[in-house]
Chains A and B, each alone.
Chain A
């Protein structure tokens, strides 16, 4: 390695020496504490989950959020301390990382078979710090929001216990220094996702959605597991970086290898890992579970299915970028899948009428952007977009949660309009979120999305066109939602019972909890006879405990862009890109890129890995203008069709009837899967069932029937209750024995 860092091992003499040194040199001794006790970050939420899970039902009841608040909050503080410490860690070295070894988890095999050694420990580098801050920080905000949102639910403690478990698993995922720990977290978040989607398990739709999410993720995870096995088979280790010295991890090994072709097994590892990422991050063939996952409570949608878990695939590819970027075929595959998913999901989102479904497809689409970012050799842009997306998408989901709260669980945008009077604060927040999502200039989404689009433009014009078009679509469907719901004539869903009847899917349980809410209100306010009406203004639909996290998220959605502005060389030094470039993953990734593309390495590629370009960088404002223009065009179309002249939208849709129908049907993907996968499987299952039932069971029955028949015959012929019959049998036996013995 060109840039060697001090290897910081946190045990024994080395640790003490390092402690003494850093204490003298580095003011951020708080970070030192975090590094030394990094196990607390996943452990505290886990403890909170255990406490909430064990004592929530009987002891804590509606106070079950406290252990989670405390656990996740402490983790969030530690994560921020770590991040700040790393940012201010004044080191001359190009790489910045800490190992924190907890214990040896698995130690198997010997020299002849290969040593399978898995250490449970944290690998803390800028990437991990950023991810931890996102996970714990946004996680904490969402747990705060959930207190108000989930108030009065039957399984209140269960919700928070799952949430704590999820934060634990997600922390393990981003902190693990090897694939096995990453996989542990990977499966852990999948489990929590399953549990939380199926939170309203008495609803069939929620159960089905949970099963669907779990099964679709199994397909991806199978690929991921094969990838891990192949990694160990090829490299003899599953550790990312080993100890950065004598025992290199597989990322260093692949970096030192020459180019691998399709004839080598190493070539195929990224493809298998990619399948896992596509499953977890809801990319094209495997995205179908994410829209259905909106059956879960809205905070879950915000945290797991928008901000954190679904980005695990992006994180994994960024973390293993040394393995991926050297493999051109894999990168092209990811780029195609990502771009296609972005466009595909953007198209479907155009005609969704359910608020959460729109955002779900939007999430799929934005994840596609992130994958493209990784694929066009710009992992910094991908991580940047990941962060900003976490802010504004969580904001959007939570805001729609507030809308649901206020409208009695109604989420159909056709049934509501002009809610700006009812929910003034939410309207502002929603507007900020929508602007950020659509990439309106100077908001968070603008910078991050533009960086990806710009990076893509240097690789392929087609890719650039697709992304730009998708950006227009994004702006359009986002503002279609906004204009429909908050602007225009005021239409408030009058009775949530009507909504109850028609929307017997995911709103159903929210009704219940809403009923609780209203019951409470009714106690407080008796003259409020029809509590289905919300326009009396008697009670506040925007309680502070729910709005406060939204404000924080809104600030993030507004300003998160400044962490990685594309211009101003002075700021560059402290930008996200510069920070991330100290991560060993990025260093190795850049090495790989340099090796793979010796000639055609552009300035953007350096930038993509967070490295300042060698030459003078000409700041180009044109891509920014184009990106901003795309957003504004989209917003303007939405304004025309959904605020100014709403019937026109339906008119237009009528003109392109087939396309609209196709989009409405979500391109029949579920139906196609049903026809080509599920139906044949079901048929095979039916056949096997028939074989089992009529052949195997018949044999079993026959085998069982023989003794049964014998027993019946014997019973009917001998066990007749006649005393003398028994005596006769006894005597017969006696005679036979005597004959046997003496004759």
Chain B
């Protein structure tokens, strides 16, 4: 196991994280199921988390991992709230189609 986390390795991990982020974003924008949309947002969290850990490893600091802990906390909170809202919305219109909720339209 190499002791040195090289620049090249860092770039690879960043690319993986970026790709996951982009894929999550595409999913968030295209999928109409609210649950899947939030799954996609979790994907984006994952991508960010990979980047944090990669930078932490590169610099040899624990801060990256600490922030992943916070990401997990935020993701958990977001999941709880989002799912509560989804349940609520489902009770209102009996659907989880994001297109059905457009009360914000101008």
Picked from A715, A718, A721, A728, the residue with its CB within 8 Å of the CB of B29 is A728
Question: Could you mark each residue 83-106 of chain B with 1 if its beta carbon is under 8 Å from any beta carbon of chain A, else 0?
Answer: 000000000000000110111111
A722 lies within 8 A of chain B by Cβ: yes
Within 8 A of A (CB), among B51-106: 98-99, 101-106
Q: Which residues in B have their C-beta under 8 angstroms from that of A687?
A: none
B45 lies within 8 A of chain A by Cβ: no
Bin chain A's interface residue count.
Answer: 10 to 19
A54 lies within 8 A of chain B by Cβ: no
B37 lies within 8 A of chain A by Cβ: yes
Query: How far is it, in angstroms, between the C-alpha of A727 and the C-alpha of B38 when the chains are bound?
Result: 13
Q: Are A721 and B105 in contact (CB under 8 A)?
A: yes
A107 lies within 8 A of chain B by Cβ: no
Q: Which residues in A have their C-beta under 8 angstroms from that of B106?
A: 715-716, 718-721
A703 lies within 8 A of chain B by Cβ: no
For A716, A722, A723, A727, the residue with the greatest tally of chain B CB atoms inside 10 Å of its CB is A723
Give min CB distance, A540 to chain B, whole Å.
78
Q: Are B105 and A720 in contact (CB under 8 A)?
A: yes
A731 lies within 8 A of chain B by Cβ: yes
Query: How far is it, in angstroms, between the C-alpha of A716 and the C-alpha of B106 when the chains are bound?
Result: 7
Q: Are B102 and A721 in contact (CB under 8 A)?
A: yes
Question: Could you mark each residue 19-59 of chain B with 1 if its beta carbon is under 8 Å from any beta carbon of chain A, else 0?
Answer: 00000010011101000010000000000000000000000
Beyond A722-B98, A722-B99, whether A727 also contacts B105 by CB under 8 A is no
Picked from B25, B30, B32, B104, the residue with its CB within 8 Å of the CB of A721 is B104
Query: How far is it, in angstroms, between the C-alpha of A715 and the C-alpha of B30 when the chains are bound?
Result: 22
Q: Which residues in A have their C-beta under 8 angstroms from that of B99?
A: 722
Q: Which residues in B have their C-beta under 8 angstroms from that of A721?
A: 101-106
Closest to B22 in A: A731
Q: Are A722 and B37 in contact (CB under 8 A)?
A: no
Give min CB distance, B93 to chain A, whole Å.
14
Q: Are A731 and B105 in contact (CB under 8 A)?
A: no
Within 8 A of B (CB), among A684-743: 715-716, 718-724, 727-728, 731
Give min CB distance, B82 to chain A, whole Å.
12
Q: Are B104 and A731 in contact (CB under 8 A)?
A: no
Q: Which residues in B have their C-beta under 8 angstroms from that of A719?
A: 104-106
Query: How far is it, in angstroms, between the C-alpha of A722 and the C-alpha of B98 when the chains are bound?
Result: 7
Closest to A727 in B: B29
Give min CB distance, B28 to chain A, whole Å.
6
Give min CB distance, A735 to chain B, whole Å.
10
Q: Are A723 and B105 in contact (CB under 8 A)?
A: no
Closest to B31 in A: A724
Give min CB distance, A613 to chain B, whole Å.
96
Q: Which residues in A have their C-beta under 8 angstroms from that of B98?
A: 722-724
Query: How far is it, in angstroms, between the C-alpha of A206 and the C-alpha of B104 when the chains are bound?
Result: 58
Give min CB distance, B97 to chain A, whole Å.
11
Closest to B105 in A: A721
Query: How far is it, in angstroms, between the C-alpha of A731 and the C-alpha of B32 when the chains are bound?
Result: 17
For B32, B98, B101, B106, the residue with the greatest tally of chain A CB atoms inside 10 Å of its CB is B106
Q: Are B102 and A722 in contact (CB under 8 A)?
A: yes
Q: Which residues in B have their C-beta under 8 angstroms from that of A727?
A: 25, 28-29
Q: Are A724 and B102 in contact (CB under 8 A)?
A: no
Query: How far is it, in angstroms, between the C-alpha of A724 and the C-alpha of B99 when the chains are bound?
Result: 9
Query: How far is it, in angstroms, between the C-alpha of A730 and the C-alpha of B32 when the chains are bound?
Result: 18
Give min CB distance, A716 to chain B, whole Å.
8
Q: Which residues in B have their C-beta under 8 angstroms from that of A722?
A: 98-99, 102, 105
Q: Which residues in B have their C-beta under 8 angstroms from that of A718?
A: 106
Query: How far is it, in angstroms, between the C-alpha of A516 and the C-alpha of B29 when the chains are bound?
Result: 82
Give min CB distance, B47 to chain A, whole Å.
14
Q: Are A724 and B28 in contact (CB under 8 A)?
A: yes
Closest to B102 in A: A721
Within 8 A of B (CB), among A427-458: none
Q: Which residues in B have their C-beta under 8 angstroms from that of A731?
A: 25, 29
Give min CB distance, B9 to chain A, whole Å.
22
Q: Are A723 and B25 in contact (CB under 8 A)?
A: no
Query: How far is it, in angstroms, between the C-alpha of A423 and the C-alpha of B104 when the chains are bound?
Result: 83
Query: How far is it, in angstroms, between the C-alpha of A60 and the C-alpha of B80 when the chains are bound?
Result: 74
Query: How far is it, in angstroms, between the C-alpha of A718 and the C-alpha of B99 when the chains are bound?
Result: 14
Give min CB distance, A355 to chain B, whole Å.
71
15 example contacts (A-B, Cβ-Cβ < 8 A) are as follows A715-B106, A719-B104, A719-B105, A719-B106, A720-B106, A721-B102, A721-B106, A722-B99, A722-B102, A723-B98, A723-B101, A724-B28, A724-B30, A724-B32, A727-B29
